[in-house]
Amino acid sequence: MKKSCLLFLMLMLSVGITAGCSANEKLEGQEASDKKVELIVSAAASLQDALNEIKIGFEKENPHIKIVYNYGASGALQQQISQGAPVDLFFSAAEDEFDQLVQEGLIEKGKGTDLVGNELVLVVPKDSDKRIESFEDITQARKLSIGTPETVPAGKYAKETLEHLNVWKDVEEKIVYAKDVRQVLTYVETRNVDAGIVYKTDAMISSKVKMVATAEDKKHTPIIYPLGVIKNSKHPEEAQAFYEYLQTQGSLDALEKHGFKALDEK
């Protein structure tokens, strides 16, 4: 009788341990499946509003993926990626920075595309009393802001435009350089400068500035926004999924709503 009881107790203990292990394994497996994949997307500051909107739709369709944006000047972002920053996709405001990463082997040609375009505009404070109504009038500005040409594509396009109009030398000493287009916009909004040159997409988000002129396309390098998957992405499948999602009609509509233009709109 004692042996029977002992065997019964040992059997029950064994069953309990097995059940406990199974429950733990199931819990650990569930936690692993519930963990979201984080995609880091380095994107030009001018894309901020459009991409934040696109993120909502993508994460709703792909609940296991979380999009984390790293906004900044395209040149600075390119340098970060070149130096090994953990990035999954790059959405640049210029082809030069993007092509540099292709040349370095960090983006495969087959995993990159020119997605949208933009326009360059001259903005002034909404209640400005300065008679600045064209790029030629910019010489009347006490101070002018553009992005740093070496790292900010919009700044490079601005310098090209002013050189083409033969006014660069007249305004060069008046320029307040900014780290990106959003900072240029802030300088104009706060009246720290009399005028600024930004993308149309940035000017559209502010109620404190007004657009007074649009630069002609032929006066600067074409403004093209290339998108690509970083070759050493830790999550290549998820990165490819977002890369393809950004090319869907819904994403393109969102980009155009925020002022970007299809590349065939020339």
Average pLDDT over residues 69-85: 96
Tokens standing for residue 156: 């490079």
* Per-residue pLDDT band at 34 (split at 50, 70, 90): low
| Fold for the domain defined by 120-219 | D-Maltodextrin-Binding Protein; domain 2 (3.40.190)
Q: Mind listing the pLDDT tens digit for each residue in 87-141?
A: 999 999 999 999 999 999 999 888 899 999 999 999 999 999 899 999 999 999 9
Superfamily per CATH, domain 34-117+224-257:
Periplasmic binding protein-like II (3.40.190.10)
How confident is the model at residue 8, as a pLDDT?
43
Domain limits of the chain?
34-117+224-257, 120-219
How far is the CA of 110 from the CAs of 84, 102, 170, 202, 237, in angstroms? 21, 10, 44, 30, 15
Q: Could you check whether 34-117+224-257 and 120-219 share the same CATH topology?
A: yes
What's the pTM?
A: 0.80
